[in-house]
Structure 1
């Protein structure tokens, strides 16, 4: 057994050859990903097996640099084993319970195999395309299986003096191993099996593997073998007798009755099984060794395939396009050189973050005119010859994060990279002649990536950026909000034919000078490409009236920040530390063990192996029994310890995430400056980071206590404006259900109404618990809840929950119609729209996986509601911000959390701001029912009334 093959041949050796057992790894890749959440493109193409297979090829090439490599495939259609297996009329199976052999009809070779899953079959053409893009030859031969082709090639190539590595995880391949043929299993940490390795793994040498397999049989291929003997017995018999034939001839010497009778009564089938498991080494396949020479991948084909399948990570790993040629550097340009380049600029590109760097890039609109003209030459043959071009890039050297405002000094930390069409780059100071004027010129069009980061970077230098038209980060989000990342490298890899060069954490001046022009180049290309896509999708109005103008609003909110009472949080922290310690002692006492409660492994050991609580069906990585929240919630119904652990986790998380962290993030005025993210959720809602203020719980006493630490500036008050039941109101609008419309138009309590309609309880005698159950039904329907989910939430049986849901739809027929029509539309379009036209792809709506399809259906129902609510509050923020600035009010909008806005208000502006905020939130868009915003003021966020 070895770990590393000898990939470097000496002068007397020929280079090794790698033969890939393709279908074995395709199936392995498919089933591996099925245990996780399957992958698909926004158009619904399944991609998980393709992705894993391509990564396996990449790893193989990286780890072993094979000189020769070929992929061997099975062909559909009959093989020679089918004809031989027909001689087997019946087979015997050993019944463990009765200890008897039972005879059944033999159905044929591979008769037990189920049909290939449809979502895997759909990926096979893409996997073949991947092999072709990697320039790996595909070998197969009609009438024979891939094993036979591999066996034949192994014999022929090793006879020519080459060492052969069979890349496979199939035990049948062990029969091929000899001094020159080895097994490489990349799924086992690149395990290499030689003869000794085979013997250690299977118990016999390679030349006896066929005999062991003949006795074992193969349930997948429907090879019966010797019934009742099994894995252990097959090895013992071959170790004793040497061959199947010897074991059959001397069966009366076998002591164990089951083994003896199996050999005596199944001779013909056992011998035929041996023939079926034997890999054929005489396939008349023709091949050219030179065709197996490893070549560099076809980057264009890889890029086309990976773009089609939306493999962003793989796109970024491709070698840079040849158009990304190395630049030469001039780090000491003259002012005249700089002024000349700036004076000739026609537009500017700006970028926020590139490879973790805070960066802004800008570029002459003509910089790529020649290249664009080439791209469009088939449609625009008379494209005019472009003038000389140049591009410019702006980079801010990263500094330690500080909540204090930055003050510009004479020595700017900014650097500028200017590049011309001749691949010549220079690096200069931010204060280059003409640069400020160019940035502040509103008539000079500008293109950006992460405009907010650019504005934040320019702010300390007192530069008022103007004329920005395109933000490719926002474009990318509009095109597909379900993508996990919209950074410039990711967007560039997804939408262009090139990738940005990686940068180190502490880039040199040369790296900067190269990186920034590349980024400018990418932004220029992306601006046109993505602008065309949002125009084609009719999303331009959302970008121009909502997403782009919201950038400056969010930046002002970030700059304002929210004030924190650190003393309140300090007192909470001390008290919570005691409560957490007390909880820990109760957990130790009730479980009978002291252990690290924060360790899932130790917790699982105590709960399931020492306390012997029932193990859940779900397992985590490495088969560690899960201690996730849903598992503990289920166990908490039967034992106190899981319930205490849940409480412990909640307190510990709140303490670390908010109570202890927020005071550390305040500036000298006691204010915390979160960063709002417009592209962080698939729903259209804003998110926030450093710190995340979106997830402070509001329904728990502790969560409300944390909100008490959010206070206004000295002398001011806090004001909150919160949309009331916005998603239920939008359900009334979308569904046009008569009962819902009437309830909201006449001011009826919707939860009381539902309790009356669904539970049959009179409103006059209704208690709070009944109304709360009706509330769960109302909001559950909005989120596409299932009977199982509602039963768990209300602690009732599924039959009753199913009855509640059916009764709801019987009373609210408009809601049922809306859901059915929405699902029909989404199944057709594989996407769903908000009221304002924002699009969310939902490709999994057609998935054959019921869990994925169910999640997609719930998403399809909820997105028009939650997405519309998210857009609605954005429009309200834009209008409110504009009025505050127009009226020159001193009050500030400081925070947005889901359907709520928070304001820091000076006392004399309270009434005016209350009236204008309520007016704008309720009337920023008109619907079939009234939209209501609850507005109140108070000394802190918790106590607003």
Structure 2
């Protein structure tokens, strides 16, 4: 059986990872984005492939033998950003920990090392795979060598073998890529080529003449006077360009393939990943490397300072009854069944250095645990509450603590808050048993909660909210499955009609989901103006297509196809797949510890991504209907809550006056910015003022506003300047907030929720600008999130106190959804609206719009 070799173009992938991902840093301020991206690509490759040999090639420096041939080779490239340069040694350290050989040599590029290894492997009949983001490597393809090319940042890869290459390059051999590049040049490497010859012409010429030498010896046979002149005048540049484009496969390397066998050092790898704060990658590496972590010896699991006792419910009850109420009790349940219908399987309780295990009479034991008046700590409070609901156990919110929520409030930037992550963060040296560690972690986190003044946020908002969310998830929301099935069939037909229409407009069959094939149709065949190009060809992203809408009928049809296709897979097929077979409902997961601003998010499904104003989005909302025994879906939505919070925080007199007089805020802004009477503001001016209003909240730039409004950047900058001239309070608030963030290193909401900004004083302009925009919008967004959480707690309490049957269903952005019975509709609507409007006391009133109907869409 043939051996296999993977060669990674380290330099190419590092750059690709750096520019593909948002800025990342560890707690020491070290930039880690490129390392993270590189790691995820490597893990993905190792998980899906098995290689006998593996190595990584790097560029040694900017100057190579090619610069002696053409002095300006790669002369147009920008200097490597220092934020990337500092990651080079870290990536090498990572590879060393993984036992992966790295190769680099003076005067040669990584491409040359790769080419030399690929040819040597060919001679030894070793199958070679090259992973790179550089299309130059395609010239190395043979029957034994293929290229994995990164696409769309780092998330996708395309495999090129002989067949794939020839399909894309008109049946030419891979070596023809050198000839093509010699003619068309390469702006990224500053290879001159022949001016005025693009890929299309180069392909045609090489298809006819096979190589540069034959072409230049037969210029008279070339069609076109101007093209002949170019070839004659710039023949020397084509020859030079061919040399520059040719990968050197005879680099003087010292190596042996047997050295390329993986030999990871797991202990060192663990230390490095912990330093980098890559919490999720370690296990993925171990799995990919097929390494099974050694289990701890049983005697180390329970240490002498923690006695383990198996007791029944009556014994546990006695122990709890004798406890001093100041004693902290840590508990953990093992569950059986799946979300949202958990049942109890085993209860573990720890206090006073003793761990008690209960496996019988668990409902009674749970009731006794709940009755204990002191502090009760666990790691997954929401699941506990849902299991209680499933067993008809009523649980009060008082004195229950969730370590994950505590850790989230202390640092909202964590990837997750499971026990392994918390122990590495707060008890890295501990070898105690699990519940002892949970207890110790609680003590550390509680100290941080107190020192950061987060107790009120924890006890009065986040922990009570967990109980509300648990019940909402447990109850779920009813789905009209017949309507869902009918619309799925209708949209499938509509997509097929759209597909036929697009292919008819194109004049030929092609894959609508292939950006490359679509690009050829739009820009080669239909000759639409090229808006943007990427390394792999024409860009056909949404931004490009929207600019081409008026050029050809095919474009709006493609945009519609893409929108419908995404909604079809996500919200039609997607919804059908997650309907609970037992309850016939959807039980979305509300994520309380995910966003950095404090907003809730939801998964399975993500309800926040359903389009709000499109006809299709409204149709999707029609699937969400009241449960049997309920009559209406009631929707209550905060009106412009973020702008009202901005008015409160900035104390801007104009904003405050507009809200106090119940004026249309966007019309008032247009009147102020464009110096118009309030009653003479045209619709398009109000629309522009709306974009400015919300843009200010999110720290929009003049470029961003120009793109949103399709106006010049100068005009957009003028709008922003005029806005700040009139709304001086807003301007002062933004400047003050950024200054305070630079001094403190974090920003906070009205309720003291904190978000740390490690890049706020960065020397890198892009990182610093991003942090400044975050500093501007987090206090506003975060306060809005806090207010609706307070409202949810108040609403849940009101429904309970009045013994209403009506109940909370969903929270989406600034909207609460309830299912109600007709007899309670008017009273519930008024009480919930009052609770929401009085959830916070601002200098301007909070207002809530309400509506109800037979489904979610009808309630909007």
TM-score, length of structure 2 as denominator length: 0.69
Change (3 A) 1:668 1:938: farther
Equivalent in the alignment of 2:409:
478
CA, structure 1 residues 728+74, in 2 after alignment: closer, same or farther (shift >3 Å)?
Answer: closer
Give the aligned partner of residue 11 of structure 1.
none
Task: Give the distance between the partners of 1:139 and 1:167, measured in 2 at CA.
Answer: 14
- 1 CA distance for matches of 2:583 and 2:248? 78
CA shift in 2, pair 1:458/1:488, >3 Å: farther
Structure of higher CA gyration radius = 1
In the alignment, the residues of structure 2 paired with residue 298 and residue 317 of structure 1 have an alpha-carbon distance, to the nearest angstrom, of: 15
Q: Distance in 2 between matches of 1:455 and 1:588?
A: 52
Alpha-carbon spacing, 1:493–1:760, altered in 2? closer, same or farther (3 Å): same
Native 8 Å contact 1:307 1:495 kept in 2: no
2:272 aligns with 305
User: Is the 1:636–1:643 contact (alpha carbons within 8 Å) kept by the matching residues of 2?
Assistant: yes
Stretches of structure 2 lacking an aligned partner (at least 5 in a row): 119-123, 139-143, 150-156, 163-172, 196-201, 223-227, 287-291, 302-307, 321-326
Task: Tell whether the 8 Å contact from 1:346 to 1:366 is kept in structure 2 after alignment.
Answer: no
RMSD between aligned residues: 6.8
Match of 1:338 in 2: 310
The residue aligned with 1:178 is: none
1:123 aligned onto 2:84: no
How far did 1:559 drift? 4.3
Residue deviations 1:215-240 (CA, integer Å, cap 9, x gap):
x9999999999x9xx9999xx99999
SS of the aligned residue for 1:817 comes to helix
Contact preservation (8 Å) 1:70, 1:136: yes
Deviations along 1:690-731, one digit per CA (max 9) or x if unpaired, are: 444444444345655646964587686665433222111111
The answer to whether the Cα contact below 8 Å between 1:732 and 1:741 also exists between their aligned partners in 2 is yes
Query: Taking structure 1 as reference, are residues 917 and 613 closer, same or farther at Cα in structure 2, changes over 3 Å only?
Result: farther
CA contact (8 A) 1:758 1:811 kept: yes
Cα separation, 1, equivalents of 2:317 and 2:488: 60
Q: Tell me how many residue pairs correspond in the alignment.
A: 803
Q: Distance in 1 between matches of 2:499 and 2:257?
A: 67
Matches of 2:44 and 2:21, distance apart in 1 = 22
Give the whole-Å Cα distance in 2 for the aligned partners of 1:168 and 1:894: 48
1-side partners of 2:614 and 2:129: how far apart?
A: 60
Task: Determine the structure 2 residue equivalent to 1:816.
Answer: 731
Matches within 5 A, 1:856-935: 857-905=772-820, 913-914=828-829, 916-927=831-842, 929-934=843-848
Q: What residue is the counterpart of 2:21 in the other structure?
A: 37
Contact 2:498 2:561 in 1 (8 A): no
Q: Which moved more, 1:713-722 or 1:306-315?
A: 713-722
Give matches, 1:537-936, under 5 Å.
537-562=452-477, 566=480, 581=493, 585=497, 588-589=500-501, 592=504, 599-601=512-514, 604=518, 608=522, 612=526, 614=528, 626=540, 628=542, 630-647=543-560, 657=571, 661=575, 665=579, 673-700=587-614, 703=617, 706=621, 710=625, 719-826=634-741, 831-842=746-757, 857-905=772-820, 913-914=828-829, 916-927=831-842, 929-934=843-848, 936=850
Q: What is the CA distance between 1:551 and its match in structure 2?
A: 0.9
Question: Residues 633 and 827 of structure 1: is their aligned pair in 2 closer, same or farther, counting only changes over 3 Å?
Answer: farther
Q: Paired residue for 1:450?
A: 380
Question: CA–CA distance in 1 between the matches of 2:499 and 2:751?
Answer: 51
3-state SS in 1 of match to 2:311 = helix
- Secondary structure, aligned partner of 1:395: strand
Query: Do the aligned residues in 1 keep the contact of 2:10 with 2:58 (CA within 8 Å)?
Result: no
Cα distance in 1, alignment partners of residues 540 and 592 from structure 2: 34
Extract unaligned runs of 5+ from structure 1.
8-17, 89-105, 155-160, 175-181, 194-199, 204-208, 241-250, 330-335, 349-363, 368-390, 407-411, 501-516
Measured in 1, the distance between the counterparts of 2:651 and 2:418 equals 40
State the distance in 2 between where 1:218 and 1:944 align: 57
After superposition, give the CA deviation of every residue in 1:615-652 in whole Å (9 maximum; x if it has no partner).
Answer: 76567997685354x44433323334433444455567
Q: Which moved more, 1:814-823 or 1:107-116?
A: 107-116
The structure-2 alpha-carbon separation of the partners of 1:778 and 1:77, relative to structure 1 and needing over 3 Å to count, comes to closer
Does structure 2 conserve the Cα–Cα contact (< 8 Å) formed by 1:563 and 1:672?
A: yes
User: After superposition, what is the alpha-carbon deviation per residue over 1:604-624, rounded to whole angstroms, capped at 9, x for unaligned?
Assistant: 279526862637656799768
Structure 1 window deviating more from structure 2 (817-826 vs 724-733): it is: 817-826
CA 669–279 in structure 1, closer or farther in 2 if over 3 Å, else same: closer
1:46 corresponds to? 31
Structure 1 residues 885 and 632, CA gap change in structure 2 (3 angstroms): same
> Is the alpha carbon distance of 1:288 and 1:427 closer, same or farther for their aligned partners in structure 2, counting shifts above 3 Å?
farther
User: 1:570/1:394 Cα in 2 relative to 1: closer, same or farther (>3 Å)?
Assistant: closer
1:839-862, CA deviations, whole angstroms, 9 ceiling, x for partnerless residues?
A: 334556678887777665544432
The CA distance in 2 between the partners of 1:68 and 1:582, in whole Å, is: 50
What is the alpha-carbon distance in structure 1 between the residues aligned to residue 6 and residue 294 of structure 2? 31
Mean alpha-carbon deviation: is it higher for 310-319 or for 610-619? 610-619
More moved, 70-79 vs 738-747: 70-79
Label 1:327 to 1:645 Cα distance change in 2 as closer, same or farther (>3 A): farther
Deviations 1:170-201 (A, max 9, x none): 99999xxxxxxx999887999999xxxxxx97
Cα displacement (A) at 1:485: 5.0
Distance in 2, matches of 1:597 and 1:766, equals 48
Give CA-to-partner distance per residue, 1:484-520, whole Å, 9 cap, x none.
Answer: 55566776777776999xxxxxxxxxxxxxxxx9976
Give the alignment partner of residue 133 of structure 1, picking from 90, 97, 103: 97
